[in-house]
Amino acid sequence: MEIVGRARIAIVALAVVQVVHLVAVVVDVVALQWLDDVTDSDALDRFDTVTLLSAGAQYLALVVAAIVFVRWFNAAHRNLDALCPGVRRHETWWSITSWIIPIMGLFRPKQIHNDMLACALGERKRHWWASWWWILFLVGSFVANVAARRFSDANTLELARSSTIVHATSGCILIAGAFLAIIVVRRTTDAMETKRREVARQPQPQPPEPEALLPTP
């Protein structure tokens, strides 16, 4: 299936996101020490440069991971009709646009993923890894947004220090979220592959044989 190849790429991108966020958290912790001496202008310059580069690397890694993840997500959603007719509740274009539409992005992607699990696992129930992935994604995104806004308004050392702490916190949450996202991609893909093999083994209905023509009297 197409989703297998896209799943591998998404898993690699999410692993890179984890590494980048981990480095960014370490950078934030080290950078906090540079704010202790307000008379050291070199240390303050290093703080600005290093934290800016770190945030830029995080943003780039997240954008790349988001693109490949959504490509996998869309491919998996488009396979639902072939594997489980009637399970898909939303049009396939929602698996792309729901991520960027305000309000809808809070619940529609999770609904779509629930349909994938209902198809692949044959039941609609909560799975801890899917639920916690979504919770961490929402919380991490919110905290990261708060950190970005605080950084843009940080015109004092105290604001810069608190913004860095919030930014490091968001990095820790997103590391855990990326870890669970890898589990989501792997388990969903494996379950859908198992479902595909089950469907392929099912006997296909044979077309009815043509009725014999009666001899003309």
Tell me how far apart the alpha carbons of residues 139 and 35 are, in angstroms, rounded to a whole number.
Answer: 28
Distance (Å, whole) CA 21 – CA 1:
31
pLDDT of residue 4: 92
Q: Mention every residue, 6+ apart, whose C-beta is less than 8 A from residue 74.
A: 92, 95, 96
Q: Please state, in angstroms and rounded to a whole number, the distance separating the CA atoms of residues 217 and 201.
A: 47
Which own/partner pairs from 45-49 qualify as long-range (CB within 8 Å, at least 24 positions apart)?
47/160
Mean pLDDT by 10 residues, the chain (217 residues): 89 97 93 76 80 91 96 95 91 95 94 93 82 95 89 77 91 96 96 90 64 51
Residue 127, pLDDT score: 87
Q: Which residue has the tokens 């934030």?
A: 28
Domain boundaries, the chain: 2-194
How far is the C-alpha of 174 from the C-alpha of 168, rounded, in Å? 10
For every residue of 148-207, DSSP letters joined together read: HHHHHT--SHHHHHHHHHHHHHHHHHHHHHHHHHHHHHHHHHHHHHHHHHHHHHSPPPPP
DSSP calls for 80-93: HHHHSTTT--S-TT
Burial degree of 213 (CB within 10 A; 0-12, 13-18, 19+): exposed
Q: Are 195 and 84 in contact (CB under 8 A)?
A: yes
pLDDT at 210: 58
Q: Which of 94, 181, 90 is nearest to 140 (CA)?
A: 181
What pLDDT, on a 0 to 100 scale, did the predictor assign at position 207? 58
**C-alpha dihedral sign at 197, 127, 133, 102:** positive
Closest CA to 113 of 175, 69, 176, 144: 69
